[in-house]
């Protein structure tokens, strides 16, 4: 399942808030999104752990 959102920094509040209407959620799990997630995780681990 894919979940996404866009955030904007609000300097006056010194925080990030979700941009209205920016979110997205896939309707169901699928093999392609599973592969994207696995590849993303592998890249993060390689960058972080060497």
Q: Which domain holds residue 10?
A: 3-49
The answer to whether the pTM exceeds 0.75 is no
Q: Are 2 and 24 in contact (CB under 8 A)?
A: yes
**The pLDDT of residue 12 is above 90:** yes
- pLDDT, tens digit (0-9, with 9 covering 90-100), for 23-49: 999 889 899 999 999 999 999 999 999
pLDDT, residue 50, reads: 86
Average pLDDT over residues 4-12: 96
Structural domains in the chain (count): 1
Report the chain's C-alpha Rg in angstroms.
15
């Amino acid at each position: 399942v894919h979940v996404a959102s866009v955030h904007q920094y609000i300097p006056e509040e010194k925080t990030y808030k979700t941009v209205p209407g920016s979110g997205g959620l896939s309707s169901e799990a699928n093999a392609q999104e599973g592969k994207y997630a696995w590849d993303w995780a592998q890249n993060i681990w390689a960058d972080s752990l060497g």
